[in-house]
């Protein structure tokens, strides 16, 4: 069927690429091979902050996603009742692994 190992390898790579899911996260700048993006999400009129809380969600192959990356979860984790601002960090590697981390700053 295949006359050389190069054609067999090429077919296997194409099949592997087509069978994998896309582990994507919320970001305005998505890289097909690799993403590592930070950005603002939300700001309020509160003038100061002394606490930081985080929450995160992870996706593997776009098939399994777990976690709670909500602002509410980050507030609870940081003991925050008044939000100053919210940032996020999205990381994705080859569409296989992705992680979204939400940072809440406040009092």
Residue 58 lies in a domain: yes
Residue 4 lies in a domain: no
Residue 9 lies in a domain: no
* pLDDT tens for the chain, residues 1 to 107: 556 666 667 766 665 555 444 444 455 556 678 888 887 777 777 768 889 999 999 998 888 999 999 999 999 999 999 999 999 999 988 878 999 999 999 99
Residue 1 lies in a domain: no
Q: What is the pTM of this model?
A: 0.70
Residue 100 lies in a domain: yes
Is residue 46 a contact partner of residue 84, using CB atoms and an 8 Å limit? yes
Looking from the CA of 81 toward its CB, the CA atoms found within 13 Å total 0
85 CB contacts (<8 Å, ≥6 apart)?
40, 41, 42, 43, 44, 49, 105, 106
Q: How many residues does this entry show for the chain? A: 107
Looking from the CA of 29 toward its CB, the CA atoms found within 13 Å total 10
Residue 10 lies in a domain: no
Q: Which domain holds residue 100?
A: 21-106
Residue 89 lies in a domain: yes
Task: Output the pLDDT for position 24.
Answer: 46
Report the number of distinct structural domains present in the chain: 1
Instruction: Please give the helix or strand (H or E) that residue 68 lies within, else none.
Output: strand 64-68
């Amino acid at each position: 069927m295949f006359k050389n190992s190069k054609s067999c390898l090429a077919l296997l790579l194409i099949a592997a690429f087509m069978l994998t899911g896309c582990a994507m996260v919320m970001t305005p700048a998505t890289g097909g091979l690799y993403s590592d993006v930070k950005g603002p999400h939300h700001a309020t009129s509160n003038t100061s902050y002394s606490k930081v809380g985080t929450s995160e969600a992870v996706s593997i192959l776009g098939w399994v996603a777990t976690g709670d990356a909500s602002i509410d979860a980050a507030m609870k984790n940081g003991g925050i009742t008044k939000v100053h601002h919210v940032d996020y960090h999205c990381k994705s590697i080859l569409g296989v692994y992705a992680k979204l981390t939400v940072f809440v700053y406040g009092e």
